Structure 1
Amino acid sequence: MSASSSPNAPLTDAEIDELADLVDLVDERTGVPISLEGLDGFLTALACSPRTIPPEEYVPALFEREDGLASVFEDAADQARFLTLCNRRRNEIVRALAAPIDNLADPKALSPLVMDWKGLLAELPPADAKRLRDAGIPPYAQLWAVGFLLAVEHWENDWTLPADSKDEAFVDEVLDPFYVLAAPLDELTPEEHAVRREDHLALALWGAYELREFWLDRGQAPRT
C-alpha cells in the first residue's frame, strides 16, 4: 500500500486542492453552502466529539440530505474519493489532537485549513481582488467555526451534559471562542472585537484539544 493510499497518510497539498475541487462541485450541484474551510471545521468537531460518528451518519448532516452522497455526486469515483479524503483528513486531525504539544507552532499541532483571504487578495490583480471583495469575503476563520458548530449543534444531545453536571459550564466556556468566530462582526462585543481573530482561533484550537481530553476522561473519545 502506498503512503498516499493509507488511511493514516496526511493529505498532500495536491490532495487538499483535490478535496477543495470536490467541495466546490458539491456547492455547484446542490446549492449547499459548503466550503473546504467549513468542511475542515466540521471534521475537527467530529474528531473531538463525545462519540465516533461514521460517514453514513455525518454525510446527511453535512449535506442536508437523507439520501447521502447519491444525490451529491453523479460520478461514483468522485463520491468514493471524497469519502476517502475526508476520512484521511479526520484521521489526521485526530492524530494531531492526540499529540502532546506545548504550543500551536509545533509541527505536530493541528493546522486548520483556514483561508488566508488577505494573502490571497494581495496576490491577485487589483481588478480581481475588487471583484472578490465585492462578492463578499467572510471574516477570518468564520467558515471553519461555523462548520465546527454545525456538528456540535446537529448532535446536540451528545454534547449536552446532565443539568446537574458540574462540567456543563466548562463545555460552554470551551465552545465560546467558536461562537465568537462564527458570529457576524456586527454582533461582537467591543471586548471581542479588541481581540485579534487569529487569537480567537488559537483559543478555539486549544479548545479542541481540551474537548478531546474531556471526553476521554469521561470514558468517551472518537476513534480513527
Structure 2
Amino acid sequence: MIEDIDHENAERLTALLQIVAAADEEPLPIDTLDGYMTALVCGPVTSSPLQAMDGLFGDDWAAALDAQDATEEFMDRLHLRWNEIAATLDPAALLADQEQMQLMPLITEFDESMKADLLAQGVLTAAQLDSLPGAGVMWVDGFMRAVHEHEAAWYVNEADSEQGQMLDAMLMALAAVAMPQGEQRDAYIAESYEAEDTVDQNVLLDDALFSVQDLRLFWLQPSASDDAVH
C-alpha cells in the first residue's frame, strides 16, 4: 500500500489530460479518468493504462500530445497513477483490515475557497457554481462508464444468484453517489441505512469507496470470475 498520492504527478497528469480532452472537444476531468482506471484495476477484465485511454478517447487520442512531444511523459505519469491505484487495492492489505479505507481516489473538492477562486477568475459563473456536481460524482461516472463498457464480464453471474445480488448491491452503492436529490435517492437511503442515520453526499461517497475495495476482493473469488473475460 502507498502512504500518499504523488500530488505533483497528479497535477501534471491533469494538465496533460486537458490537452487530450481539448483536442477531442470533450471535457474530461481527472476524476473521471481516475474512476475509469480504478474500475479496470479492480474489475474482472485484465487491462492497462493504454487501454483506458483508448476506451475513453479512441485509438488516436495521442495525436495532440505527439504534437507537443508530451506523449511519453503522459504515459509515464499515467502508469504511475495506475500503479498507485493498484497499490491501494492490494488484496493482501485489503484482507488484513477490511474496515480500513485504503483507496485514495483523485476527487476534485469544490469547497467554498475553490468556488470563490473560480468565480473571481471568471472560470465559472454564479449559476454554474450552483450546478457543480456533488463530491465524487465525476469519479463515479468514470467508474460506471468502465463497468458499462465491459458489462459482459461484469454481469457474468445470474442476476438472482447470490453472486449477482452481491454485485448489484456494491454497484448500487456507487450509483447512489450520482443520484440527484429526489425520490430515487431518498428510497435508496431509506432501504440501505437506519432511520436514525444522517446520510449526506460524503457518507454515500465513503460507502461507495468501501464498495470498490469489496469489489476488488469479490472478483478474486473463483465463483465470481470463472467466466469473466481476461
Report the TM-score range of the alignment, normalised by the length of the smaller protein: 0.7 to 0.9
Whole-angstrom distance in 2 between the partners of 1:90 and 1:58: 10
Whole-angstrom distance in 2 between the partners of 1:180 and 1:118: 21
AA matched with 1:196: D
Q: Does 1:116 align with 2:109?
A: yes
Kindly provide the CA deviation profile for residues 20-73 of structure 1, in whole angstroms up to 9, marking residues without a partner as x.
Answer: 10122222211123111111111111111113212443322111x2x2434443
Residue 177 (structure 1) shift:
1.8
Kindly provide the CA deviation profile for residues 129-185 of structure 1, in whole angstroms up to 9, marking residues without a partner as x.
Answer: 893543341111100000000100001111012326430010010011211112344
Whole-angstrom distance in 2 between the partners of 1:97 and 1:137: 29
Whole-angstrom distance in 2 between the partners of 1:13 and 1:56: 21
Q: Which runs of 5+ in 1 are unaligned?
A: 1-7
Whole-angstrom distance in 2 between the partners of 1:129 and 1:190: 35
Whole-angstrom distance in 1 between the partners of 2:214 and 2:133: 27
SS at match of 1:174: helix
Residue among 111, 128, 134 paired with 2:127:
134
Q: Does 1:38 align with 2:51?
A: no
TM-score by length of 1: 0.79
Please tell me the root mean square deviation across aligned C-alpha atoms, in Å.
2.9
SS at match of 1:201: helix
Moved more, 202-211 or 118-127: 118-127
AA matched with 2:110: W
TM-score by length of 2: 0.77
Whole-angstrom distance in 2 between the partners of 1:52 and 1:10: 25
AA matched with 1:62: L
Q: Is the 8 A contact 2:39 2:147 kept in 1?
A: yes
Map of 2:174 onto structure 1:
178
Q: Does 1:158 align with 2:153?
A: yes
SS at match of 1:195: coil
AA matched with 1:116: E
Residue among 184, 204, 211 paired with 2:215:
211
Alignment: residue pair count: 208
Residue among 186, 199, 204 paired with 1:200:
204
Residue among 68, 71, 83 paired with 1:91:
83
Q: Is the 8 A contact 1:69 1:79 kept in 2?
A: no
Map of 1:15 onto structure 2:
9
Map of 1:4 onto structure 2:
none
SS at match of 1:137: coil
Moved more, 164-173 or 139-148: 164-173
Task: Sort the Cα spacing of 1:9 and 1:192 in 2 relative to 1 into closer, same or farther, 3 A.
Answer: closer
Task: Sort the Cα spacing of 1:103 and 1:56 in 2 relative to 1 into closer, same or farther, 3 A.
Answer: closer
Residue 112 (structure 1) shift:
1.2
Whole-angstrom distance in 2 between the partners of 1:112 and 1:133: 28
SS at match of 2:134: coil
SS at match of 1:50: coil
